[in-house]
Amino acid sequence: MKKYILLLLLSLLILSCNEKKEVSSINAKNWTKRFVNINTIDSLEYGKSYLSIYSEIYSVSEHKRHNLTAMVSLRNTSDSDTIYILKAEYYDTHGKSVRTYFKKPIYLAPLETTEIIIDEVDTEGGTGSNFIFEWKIPKNCPEPLFEGIMNSTKGQQGLSFSTQSKRIK
């Protein structure tokens, strides 16, 4: 009986070590449900926004870092118009592109929100990571809002803070 229990425990230990770590909790296939074709000759206004994100922060000194989960919120602030997000590109501390989240424009219905999640184990962005969003909106439509919520919990200690985008074009 002891041999079976030991074998079971050993099997569970081996299986738990082979767990694949994800870099994003949002499946890329979900973006395909939001793809839309936009006519290049239209009356939509173009914009570009910058959002700072922290996938890790310094703790105690510059030699110790603390990993964070980052939720990037893409929000349509209009209560009547659909908006279009052309690109969401993630950059690391050094300004090098880490990944682009969708290859075609996506839409957000009035007051709709969608998210990009950067898992705590994904530290590719570093302490100074950021996003550039390109978007199009109808004339006289409020601009989209991009927010970052970073958090981490260990035991009874929790840490969280937020950032907001800035229009750069």
For 9-34, write each residue's pLDDT tens digit. 666 566 555 444 455 555 666 677 77
CATH number at residue 104: 2.60.290
By C-alpha distance, which of 91, 162, 102 is closest to 128?
A: 91
By C-alpha distance, which of 76, 79, 131 is closest to 107?
A: 76
Residue 6 covered by a domain: no
Q: Give, for 100, the enclosing helix (H) or strand (E).
A: strand 97-100
Residue 61 covered by a domain: yes
Rounded CA gap, 69 and 132, in Å? 19
The pLDDT value recorded for residue 11 is 62
Specify whether the CB–CB gap between 131 and 50 falls below 8 A.
yes
Higher-pLDDT residue of 20 and 133 is: 133
Residue 11 covered by a domain: no
Higher-pLDDT residue of 10 and 43 is: 43
Q: How many domains does the chain have?
A: 1
- The percent of residues in the chain predicted with pLDDT above 70, rounded, is 80
Report the Cα 66 to chain-centroid distance in Å.
Answer: 18
Residue 5 covered by a domain: no
Full domain range(s) for residue 141: 42-167
pLDDT tens digit sequence for 91-113? 999 999 999 998 889 999 999 99
Rounded CA gap, 96 and 79, in Å? 36
Specify whether the CB–CB gap between 37 and 44 falls below 8 A.
no
Residue 12 covered by a domain: no
* pTM of this structure: 0.79
Average pLDDT along the chain = 84
